[in-house]
Amino acid sequence: MTKPNILILMCDQMQARRMGFVDGIAYTPNLDALAAEGVHFTNAITVHGQCVPSRCALMTGMSPHECNVMVNYGFFNHCGHLTTKNRTFVNVFRDAGYTTAHFGKSHLGSPLKTMGFDVGECLDGHFPKGHEPIERIRVHEELHSQGIDSTQGEWPQTSTHYKYLKQGLDWLTNHEPGGKPLLFMFDTNLPHPPFYFEDEWRERFKPDEMVLPKSYYEETFEGKPAFLKKHVERGPHKLESESKLREEMAQYYTMISAVDKACGQVIELFKQKGLWDNTVVLFLSDHGDMMGGHRFTRKGTMPYEELYNIPCILKLPVGMASRRKTIDDVIVSTDFGAALLELAGIEGPEPFDNNDMVRALHRDHAPEDGHVFFEHYAAWWGLHPFYGVRTATMKYVRYYGDDNTEELYDLAKDPDELHCVAFDPAYKKQKDKLAALADDWWARTCGQSVDFYESDAFRYNLNRPEGAVTV
Ligand SMILES: [Ca+2]
């Protein structure tokens, strides 16, 4: 049987709930149609709530602390990035005879070829070009000290999106399969800040009609880590005003509609070329945006659903079926590469030899003990390292740095994560069990202390000579 093609449609900073068939406000007809044809995973969790670690983990199938990329390079002198030592799931597809192509953002700090792609173009944005890793982070810090946010890249957001979309569509139009299956990844930088209105959908989304999250109004921060309240009141996560938030949310929706339209164009081309029926499609984002949740903006340093629950749609090729159309099993982004390999009938080497995503397709119900792990380390606005575990109904978080505290949420009763029950005696038994699970994961995957991660050897990636990148 001919191996299926793989189409990965990836976007940036999109919350799970911002699809038309989920929230009723978003306008995403192409994603709605994809979900109708495929399977919607409602509890897909990214292993990390920020760009580079999330993307590196997706590619390698390893958690950020396992692939040594825990921070967006540049933050706090960390310059960890993937190198040829890291094998990606795309490398495995290429070795199995696939043509592999990538167009758009990668943000992996490494050339596409190193990541396993035969062809493509990428925006490995967020750094001035022409600098080696250690020098680049110095440039980054210098700009930051001058009050310049160099994380916003060198190009306007919108032209970047359309540039790589056009390049991808052009390549795909001219691509002759030659009997080889195709892995094609379109990876857009939208809907990343700075937010703006995509004109085509401006009239559809009125700021005063936006529905703000319940936690925007009701968050008290009682019983939560102290830094959260400080950040929201004084720090870089502070919202300017409700009207600004409403405007940003409307802008966010227009950018998501642009993502949707682009996905529709790629899908249409797959159909025109006769590839569609034998193609596995995965739509996802690298993480979400707080978008007013708990009165935060942006991302990083907090473990909430707005960031960690990502959109996830899987379309299977003709001849394969899922027992459910909507799957609420918790699954994690480090499983996605392994799942794509399994669906293509390719035996993946470790860690691509095991995943729960495909198993979920064959189940009628989520397993009672289903759980996944996640982590964060640091972002520009602070070093607040944590790891945690998410089940279908609970979330536990352990802060292992100076914060030295815990969070626990009963998501079944409190989906907005307003009431931290980590220190509620009624939840002690559940907390102890989840804490033991999370601690065991951290120990057996060689999780380390802050001192280790703050050592120069780790931050400067000094043991990785081939890590010198040209982006
Ligand atoms: Ca991102």
Question: How far, in Å, is the centroid of ligand 1 from the Cα of 171?
Answer: 25
Q: Across the chain, what does the average pLDDT equal?
A: 89
Ranges 28-42, 249-263, 286-300, 424-438: which has the least confidence: 286-300
Distance of CA 290 from the midpoint of ligand 1 (Å): 12
pLDDT band at 156 (very low <50, low <70, confident <90, very high): low
188 CB-side CA count, 13 A: 29
Q: Looking at the domain assignment, is residue 388 inside a domain?
A: no
Which tokens belong to 155? 């190009």
Residue 418 within any structural domain of the chain: no
Give the model confidence (pLDDT) of 124-148 as tens digits. 644 434 444 444 444 444 544 555 4
Residue 167 to residue 308: CA distance in whole angstroms: 30
Matching residue, tokens 């929706």: 253
Rounded to an integer, the average pLDDT of 300-324 is 96
How far does residue 117's CA lie from ligand 1's centre (Å)?
A: 20
Distance from the CA of 65 to the center of ligand 1, in angstroms? 18
C-alpha 206 to ligand 1 mean position (Å): 25
> In the predicted model, is pLDDT for residue 405 greater than 80?
yes
Q: How far is the CA of 289 from the centre of ligand 1 (A)?
A: 9
**138 vs 184, residue with greater confidence:** 184
Q: Averaged over 173-186, what is the pLDDT?
A: 96
Q: 467 C-alpha vs ligand 1 centroid, how far in Å?
A: 22
Going from the Cα of 11 to the center of ligand 1, the distance in angstroms, rounded, reads: 8
CA of 72 to the centre of ligand 1 (A): 10
Residue 457, burial from CB neighbour count under 10 angstroms (0-12, 13-18, 19+): exposed
Cα-Cα-Cα-Cα torsion 283, 305, 379, 253, nearest 10 degrees, comes to 60
CA of 53 to the centre of ligand 1 (A): 9
In a domain, 51, yes or no: yes
CA of 176 to the centre of ligand 1 (A): 32
pLDDT in tens, 81-113: 787 788 999 999 999 999 999 999 887 777 788
CA of 286 to the centre of ligand 1 (A): 5
Across the range 427-440, mean pLDDT stands at 98
Q: Give the distance, in angstroms, between the CA of residue 261 and the centroid of all CA atoms in the same chain.
A: 20
Under the banding of pLDDT at 50, 70 and 90, the label for residue 5 is: very high
Q: Is residue 421 part of a domain?
A: no
DSSP 300-349: SS---HHHHB--EEEEPPTT---S-SEE-S-EEGGGHHHHHHHHTT--PP
Mean pLDDT (whole number) for 111-116: 86
pTM: 0.92
Q: What is the pLDDT of residue 157?
A: 62
Cα of 307 from ligand 1 centre, angstroms = 10
Rounded Cα gap, residues 289 and 13, in angstroms: 5
Distance from C-alpha of 51 to C-alpha of 12, rounded to nearest angstrom: 8
* Ligand 1 geometric centre to CA of 13 (Å): 5
* CA 49 / ligand 1 centre spacing (Å): 8
Q: Work out how many domains the chain is built from and give that number.
A: 1
The CATH number linked to 171 is 3.40.720.10
- 162 or 156: which leads in pLDDT: 162
In a domain, residue 398? The reply is no
Q: Could you report the per-residue pLDDT of 69-87, keeping only the tens digit for each? A: 998 877 787 877 787 788 9
Task: Calculate how far, in angstroms, residue 189's C-alpha sits from the geometric centre of ligand 1.
Answer: 8
Looking at residue 469, its pLDDT comes to 36
Kindly tell me if the per-residue pLDDT of 467 is higher than 60: no
468 within some domain: no
On whether residue 454 sits in a domain, the answer given is: no
Cα of 108 to ligand 1 centre, how many Å?
Answer: 11
The pLDDT value recorded for residue 193 is 84
Query: Is the model's pLDDT at 241 over the cut of 80?
Result: yes
Please, are residues 139 and 128 in contact by the beta-carbon 8 Å criterion?
Answer: yes
Q: What is the mean pLDDT of residues 14-31?
A: 97
User: Cβ neighbours of residue 145 under 8 Å, at least 6 residues apart?
Assistant: none
Cα 379 to ligand 1 centre (Å): 12
Ligand 1 centre to CA of 469 (Å) is 20
Q: What's the gap in Å between 120 CA and the centre of ligand 1?
A: 20
- pLDDT score at 118: 93
Residue 204 has pLDDT above 50, yes or no: yes
Task: Calculate what percentage of the chain has a pLDDT beyond 70.
Answer: 89
Domain holding 140, by residue range, is 5-378
Three-state DSSP at 367 gives coil
**pLDDT one-digit tens code per residue, 328-366:** 999 999 999 999 999 999 999 999 999 999 999 999 999
Distance from residue 378's CA to the centre of ligand 1 (Å): 14
- Give me ligand 1 centre to Cα 54, in Å: 8
Asked if residue 467 is part of any domain, the answer here is: no
Kindly give the distance from the C-alpha atom of residue 205 to the centroid of ligand 1, in angstroms, as a whole number. Answer: 23
Distance 56 CA to ligand 1 centre (A): 11
Please tell me the predicted confidence (pLDDT) of residue 457.
83
